[in-house]
Structure 1
Amino acid sequence: MAIRPTRRDLVAGVTAGLAAGPALAGDGLGGIRMPASVADSELRGLSPTGGKTYWASGSRGWLIRGKGERQDPMRIIGAEDLDFRGLHAFDDHHVLAMSAGPGGASQLWRTKDGGKTWKRLAANQDPEGFWDSIAFVDQRRGFILGDPTQGRFTVLYTADGGETWARLPPEGVPPAADGEGAFAASNGCIAIGRHGQVAFCTGGAGKARVYLSLGGGGVFVALDTPILADAPSRGAFAIAFGRRGELWVCGGDYKNPRAEGVNLAWRPPGSLDFQPVAAPAGYLSGISVEGETVMATGLAGTILARDGRHFERVSSAPMNSVRLTSPKSGVLCGPMGSIGLWRA
């Protein structure tokens, strides 16, 4: 069963109970500024391009090109009904936007002129398929992760910057467990390491797992994590590599965002075992790492460790995704078109 949280699942009954606005916590942790929303959209895709510039994308075909607190919203003509949960910006003007949905609702669009014009590059041809996340190694090599079809996760690969895609040999991916799927919650369930490693995380089938390939996506091994996944709404939602090859993974239960339990784990460099990390309780759907700074966010708010070890909550505003732009700055996005700007 594919796991695909919707706007109603994630926001109804939650947003009203969580504080929305900037918050400060602890020396040196900084705070999150939240400019007024400019789009009625559940924002999940997020991709900084350098400096203060970033792109965000979400439901109802909305995308936002931002620079600091300035936000320029746009919609792709012909794609107003799509849910753009994945996003990769090569630079300020060249962007790929990936929609998530069953069958042909999973699509890939490109702009090379900063959003003035868009071209559809691809659409999912498998009626049983569902695209969850997109990530790139460099300007040409990239991956799209999809939920299991024919018993294994779908991993698509491009070597020409997204113009054409092909499924990697399914036998290189271990069989999926019954009910296992990926969460299209933050474009964070697939990640690329500094040396071309590829990893994706899953849930819904007892234990949350991480599938890891050290060889650029050819062969994956499946590793257990301490994050519970004993229901379709529970598991590992996002994953990120650190600079030394360590892996961070976060998650929880999107139907119970305040639930106790392991919501954060990491795999030290060279190890095959994930260890639980002490952190403030609550569901986390996005994570990002820059140097020793680790930030994770979700509907229960945002947590931060400047030293990679001691996590504190810096905001209780509900968010979906986070991307650090430096060890002291980052951008977040979330429900109802919300954008957050973090500075230490």
Structure 2
Amino acid sequence: MTSKGKTRRMMSVGLSGLALAAALTVPAYGASDGGGSGGASGGAPHAGPYGAGWQLTETGTDARFRGLAAVDRRTAWAAGSKGTVLRTTDGGRSWRNVSPPGAGELELRDVEAFDARRAVVLAIGEGEASRVLRTDDGGATWTESFRNTDPRAFYDCITFFDQRHGLAMSDPVDGKYRILSTRDGGRSWAVLPDAGMPAALPGEAGFAASGQCLVSSGPRDVWLATGGGATARVLHSRDRGLNWTVAESTIPAGDPARGVFGLAFRDRAHGIAVGGDYRAGQASPHAAAVTGDGGRRWKAASTPPPAYRSGVAWLPHSRTAALAVGPTGTDLTTDGGRTWRTVDTGSYDTVDCTRDGACWASGEKGRIARLNGR
């Protein structure tokens, strides 16, 4: 997902975060799509129980899009299964398939976009399945800038601080998370030393579910979300990945399917974590947590989302409103993550909002949508 510190072209500001939040709480006059059918089709907004919904767009594919980079109100990129990359430059009215040639076997789980022409995508998997590719011409051509050759590594997420500096993270190798670094916009990568990385817990790993297990805010701060171990933790670096501190979240873990799946920080201090148990039908109590001190301490949401959530994003120009998404719905908070209420029941894996007032979500069966308030 796109980082807070990324330079974006500013267009005229549309709905602010407060206006979007207000729209989401107006009584509904329509019905939700009920959780996942017809995801690749456009049409009228699917209004949730609090009055706003996602406007599904026509993507022409059934790929699952767990990677999403919203650049502005007109431009967004999505990366997904079967090596699929889509790009829109007209606000989702049309999507162009700009998938890398020969990438059909790759599982693309994260994308970072700087504008309508430049983007970096991450393919996940063991050994050489983990790769980074970059385009500078809107997806007309792609260059592979990194291919993992260590069979012990499995890369999950990627983030950028600005148009040059970025990181990618792998599940633990030799007991510690492995961090890749770029200083040239993703054209080349190097593994950082792990002396400043705390030891991983037994069974601990990241979740490549939404492109939000590694997120940044500002020029140097980055956070890494974990699960699978005895506790779900959040690691924080203030120096672009060289040295890390670690804190326990309140989101339950203790199982390979449980933990923190997504993070969002609106500045260096204020963040939201979401997660739970990704298995269908499994309870996910305490599925959200908040921090006001940069992740040193986490507090459980007093009214969390009702089920597992994999993606989260702050609404534009708001200090208190955010959205969380998952396979069973979308939830809204207007008090900084302390309480949540369901506003749509459609299935999405990840969500991203732009500084000029747009929010996008993507997920299974080719589903990509823009948020429309009433």
TM-score over 0.5 for the pair = yes
CA apart distance, 1:52? 2.1
Q: Does 1:305 align with 2:333?
A: yes
- Once the two structures are superposed, residues 117-138 of structure 1 have per-residue CA deviations (whole angstroms, 9 ceiling, x without a partner) of 1111110121111110010001
Is this contact kept in 2: 1:42–1:336, CA < 8 A?
A: yes
User: What does residue 215 of structure 1 align with?
Assistant: 239
Q: Does 1:200 align with 2:217?
A: no
Q: Distance in 2 between matches of 1:257 and 1:188?
A: 23
Matching residue within 10, 35, 44 for 1:18: 35
Q: Percent identity?
A: 33
CA apart distance, 1:306? 3.5
Matching residue within 271, 274, 289 for 1:265: 289
Which of the pair is proportionally richer in strand? 1
- Rate the CA distance shift 1:184–1:302 in 2: closer, same or farther, 3 A: same
Q: Distance in 1 between matches of 2:363 and 2:152?
A: 28
Amino acid at match of 2:330: T
* Unpaired stretches in structure 1, ≥5 consecutive residues: 1-15
Normalising to structure 2: TM-score of the pair?
0.83
Q: Distance in 2 between matches of 1:283 and 1:299?
A: 8
- Once the two structures are superposed, residues 230-256 of structure 1 have per-residue CA deviations (whole angstroms, 9 ceiling, x without a partner) of 110110001111236212111011113
Matching residue within 322, 331, 339 for 1:294: 322
User: What does residue 316 of structure 1 align with?
Assistant: 345
Q: Distance in 2 between matches of 1:311 and 1:216?
A: 32
CA apart distance, 1:307? 4.1
* Unpaired stretches in structure 2, ≥5 consecutive residues: 1-32, 38-44
Matching residue within 132, 148, 173 for 1:108: 132
Amino acid at match of 2:83: G
Q: Does 1:72 align with 2:96?
A: yes
Q: Distance in 1 between matches of 2:310 and 2:47?
A: 19
Q: Distance in 1 between matches of 2:98 and 2:372?
A: 26
User: What does residue 250 of structure 1 align with?
Assistant: 274
* Residue correspondence of structure 1 range 137-286 to structure 2 within 5 A: 137-243=161-267, 245-256=269-280, 259-269=283-293, 272-277=296-301, 278-286=303-311
User: What does residue 4 of structure 2 align with?
Assistant: none
Secondary structure of 1:229 counterpart: coil
User: What does residue 50 of structure 1 align with?
Assistant: 72
- Rate the CA distance shift 1:60–1:214 in 2: closer, same or farther, 3 A: same
CA apart distance, 1:164? 1.7
Q: Distance in 2 between matches of 1:195 and 1:314?
A: 33
User: What does residue 13 of structure 1 align with?
Assistant: none
Runs ≥4 in structure 1, deviation > 6 angstroms? none
- Once the two structures are superposed, residues 29-65 of structure 1 have per-residue CA deviations (whole angstroms, 9 ceiling, x without a partner) of 6321112341121111111122221000101011111
Q: Distance in 1 between matches of 2:66 and 2:333?
A: 22
Q: Distance in 2 between matches of 1:203 and 1:182?
A: 6
Equivalences, count: 327
What's the RMSD between the two structures over aligned residues?
1.9
